[in-house]
Structure formats: C-alpha cells, structure tokens
A and B are shown apart, each in its own frame.
Chain A
C-alpha cells in the first residue's frame, strides 16, 4: 500500500511577499548601519578633541611657541600663535583640525600666558 505523504509548505505568493519584506528590512538595516559607521561625527570629533588637547598640553609644557602642522590619522592639525592684543605676555593659541579635503572639523582657541613661571 502506498501511503501518500502530505508535506506542509508555503504558497508561492506567501514566499514572494515574505522575501520582499525581508529584503526591504535588510535594506533599511544596512542603510542605518552604513550611516552610523560612515557618518559618526561624534567619534571623529572625540578623537579630534583628544588630539587637540594633547597638542595644547604639549605646547604649555614645552613652552615652545612655533607655528607648525601635524598629521594624525588623515587629519591635519595646524598650530598657530599670535600675540593677544592689549597684553604683553598673553598669546592666542589656535589649533585647527582639517580633513584631507581641507574641510575644517574643529577650531580650538586658547589664551596662554607666555612666561617661565609655573602658574
């Protein structure tokens, strides 16, 4: 005796609709992930702030007031000094962080006392 076995299966229509939903969801998911990973300005900015802090601290410790550029991870940090108007011993330190395509990410300005004392 031949037993006819019945298999449960999805209809073609069901399968097509399900696949369409899954493809759409995956498309949205990948777009979100791409946005987050490529456009994470937060992470980039934190890194830039960290580097700027480091450069500013080095200037204050070394007491060397020379304009120069430094490149760290494709970001160029331009360090420049100018005398602050109205004060003999005060200088304005500007550190500008720029991308490869010369786009300014962050500009740091600070007034520092140009002296030998430890305060």
Chain B
C-alpha cells in the first residue's frame, strides 16, 4: 500500500503571501524615507534662499555692514544656524552685491547690481539749474512736468528762432529757487572712477587681463558675475566689431574704444579717453571717458546703461558727451570734473529726437533738444543752432519726471537723500 504524502501547501501560500506583503511594506518604508529626505532638502533649500535674500536686504539697508570692496560672513539672527557670506564690490557706477548662504550641503547665492534710489524731493525733480543770475527761458513746444529748482525761483517765456512759447503752463509743477553752488556730486566716487582708467588698478583688483595687443579677441566672451572680472586691454585703440561680450567684463584702452553696431554688449564696462558708439548699436553698457563719448544715430542703450565723462586735471581739452539724433537711452548720463576751469568745460549734448529715460547730470553745461523722461541737473543749459548759442534756454524740449518709472535706480554720482535699491538681478 502506498503511503500518502501530504504537501505543506498552506505554508507555501503563507510564505508567498508574506513575501508580497513584505515587499509592499518595504516599498512604503522606502517611499516614506525618501519623502522625508526630500522635505528636509526642500527645507534647507528654502532656508538658504531666504537667508541669501535677507543678506541682500541687509546689504541694501546697511552700508556700514560691508564696505566696498569687502567680503564678510555674518550670523543673521545670532543663533549660529543662519550665516551668510556678504560681498560688495564696485561695478562701474553701481555696486555689485552678493549674498551666499549654506545650509547642510546646499549652497545658494544671489547677486545684484545696486544703486541709489531717491527718497527726497530734491532727487525727484524735473530740472535743477544752478542760480547764476540768469533765469531760464523757454520757447516753442517745450514741456516741463515736475518740480523745478530754478535761478531766482522763476521761469520766463522766451522767443527763439522766431517762435515764442506754445503751451498752457510754463511748468506743470512747483518752482523753487536753486542755489548758486548747484547740486554737488560724490567726489569719492569720482576718485574711484579716475583710478579705473589704469591697468595697474585692474591688476590690483585681481582681474584676468587679456591683452589684445598680444592675443586676438575671441568672437564671444561671456563671464559670470560669480567669477573674477575679465579685463580686455589694449595700449592702442580697441574696435569692437562682430563680438559678443556679456557679463563681468571690462574693456580698457589707453587711446579709445569704438563700438560697431555689429557687436552685442551686455553689462560690460568700458574705460577709455574716447568712446565712440557707432550708429545703430543696441545693447546695455557702462562707458566712462576722460575726453569724449559719442553715441551715434538710432542707437538703443537699454537700462541699466551709464555714460559718464570725467574731466581730470590732466585733460587738455573740454570733456564732451553727445547723443546723436533718434537714439534712445535708459539709465544715467553724467559729466563731472576734478577741478573747475573757466577755459575747459564739461558739456553734455542731447540732440533732436533723442529719448532719455533716467537722469542727466552735468556739473557744468548741458544742452537738450530731445525728450528726457526724468531729471536734468546742471549749472547752465545751452541751446545752439547754426548761428547762435543761447544760455539757459530750452527750445522744443520735453522734461517730464512723471514718466520716470518708479523702479528707476540711479548711480552714486549725486549726493542726495537716498536709499539703496536693486538695479538688476544677476
């Protein structure tokens, strides 16, 4: 008789079932583990971003906490867990600020260009013309909107080119008396700017210098603002044609820089005795010259662009800055000088049909025939035509502070009650 063998069938079922349930449990446990991990990582990322943003706010509100140029680590709340590394450097006429926060293994940095935002009435004016005993006269379809500081606290309707003033109001705003000294500029800033015209300063700043007298310039140079600056240098003239320059790049020439319309330039700063921007150029840059800056016709210089002429003691001629017809500019234009000289002038000229959004400051002479959506600040306003030069006359000009965007942040050139603001996030 055959002995019947009973198989442990139920045990097999039980083991298989247990295995399936175990795998399911393990999956859930792993899922839970990774979910916790990702939440923890997200918390670190969130905290690092928040601390970096708080660091930038601290740099904006407290100038003393980190000088320029300086790098410092700060414990934000004194609890040892929220430290940020703060850094401030100059970038042309603006400050370049960086805040870096580290949480566990996560590092997050924020960089921005900062400038000055006026919070007082003196910074939000349409015209500030120094009182040199010569009142302002306007003729033609001149429009002035905003508060003005004018010689003798008055404005008169004049007659130029056979045309008298056309309009309802001479000034759509309050007129106050200006001072004879005019609005003073920041001489520390001028001192910094003058030093930038030498290669030695760039080397002191640990810039990476590309001497294009020895090595030809590449078609494209891009440098992040987290890196050291790259300085493109030449003892002779630099012609920027068919090139793409973007980021933390300086161009320095001991003779002059010519920018052709075929070049694409963004965030770059240029130092040279003479800077010429040819007709049709489009980009955003900061250009500083000791002798002259010329912006051709139909150019578009986007915000935050800066054009500045600095007449030094060594300058043998007048320093001039001219924007030619049909060009648009957004940012700040300024002309300053080390010492006043009756024989040598700083002269800023805005031609017909130019449009400037921002501020135009000349410590000496200014001519405007176009539209300025912002402020003009100067000692004398000139109007020239083929036969005559008129002093303190405006003809067919538009100066309208009400059209200046609220977000406009200017440079540190002028001294007025102001607060730091973000020009641009990088």
Contacts and interface: CB of A to CB of B under 8 A. Distances in A.
24 contacts: A14-B8, A14-B10, A17-B11, A18-B11, A18-B13, A21-B11, A25-B22, A26-B21, A32-B28, A32-B29, A33-B28, A36-B28, A36-B32, A42-B39, A43-B35, A46-B42, A87-B61, A90-B61, A92-B77, A109-B77, A109-B82, A117-B419, A118-B407, A119-B117
Contact of B39 (A15, A45, A110): A45
Interface in A57-108: 84, 86-90, 92, 106, 108
Contacts of B419: 89, 115, 117
Classify chain B: how many residues form its interface, as a range: 35 or more
A90 B77 CA distance: 13
Contacts of B406: 117-118
B106 interface: no
A24 B422 CA distance: 64
Contacts of B82: 109
Nearest to B18: A25
A10 B7 CA distance: 8
Please provide the 3 A-B residue pairs with the shortest distance between their CB atoms, ordered closest to farther.
A18-B14, A111-B54, A42-B39
A73 B317 CA distance: 74
Contacts of A19: 14
Nearest to A10: B10
Contacts of A110: 50, 53-54
Contacts of B25: 28-29, 32
A40 B11 contact: no
A113 B60 CA distance: 8
Contact of B57 (A14, A90, A106, A117): A90
A115 to B, nearest CB: 7
A33 B76 CA distance: 41
Contacts of B42: 46, 49
Interface in A1-56: 10-11, 14-15, 17-19, 21-22, 24-26, 28-29, 32-33, 35-36, 40-43, 45-46, 49
